[in-house]
Amino acid sequence: MDRIVLSLLVDNTSGVLSRVAGLFSRRGYNIESLTVGVTADERYSRMTVVSYGDQSVLEQIEKQLRKLEDVRDIKELKPGHSVYRELIMVKVRANANQRQAVNAISSIFRATIVDVGKDSLTVMLTGDQSKLDALINLLEDYEILELARTGLTGLSRGSDDIRYLP
């Protein structure tokens, strides 16, 4: 199974997310990760969609997305030619004696402690998937109370393939 990371420039209107997700659902394709946010031009949003499949399935996904009226541009974000990031927040149980150890683990990854409770710490980290997975692996020695991941987002490197819309 191959992985594809697509960056979609779409109209920033209601129902676009539903139509994109519906396309995947109707055809039985799985969305591994999906992030959406408005761009510098508020008329458009950028979606980063990650999916898996054989080459013919991945080609079909891209062809079907191009047919959607709201989709203005599609780029495949290829490894080495793109920058990918993900954000994670992990709340771990940590009493006063354990806080220093959790802080030390966080420092190794350049993570930030964003909340301190009486018996918990919330750690925030951005990076690639392997970095986030490594942090989770080390924090498993503590009780993970809650965990939230944003999903992958990315942009292509450089300015050669920028598309300007009217």
**Is pLDDT of 164 > 90?**
no
Q: Give the contacts of 66 (CB within 8 A, at least 6 positions apart).
A: 74
User: What's the pLDDT score for residue 15?
Assistant: 94
Q: For residue range 74-94, what is the model confidence (pLDDT) as tens digits?
A: 999 999 999 999 999 999 999
Distance, in Å, from the CA atom of 48 to the CA atom of 75, rounded to the nearest integer, reads 10
Is beta strand 71-76 parallel, antiparallel or unpaired with respect to 112-116? unpaired
At 109-121, the pLDDT tens digits run: 999 999 999 999 9
What are 4-36's pLDDT values in tens digits? 999 999 999 999 999 999 999 998 899 999 999
- Would strands 71-76 and 2-11 be described as parallel, antiparallel, or unpaired? antiparallel
Q: What is the pTM of this model?
A: 0.84
Residue position matching structure tokens 């690639």: 128
d(CA 122, CA 112): 8
Token representation of residue 102: 């959790």
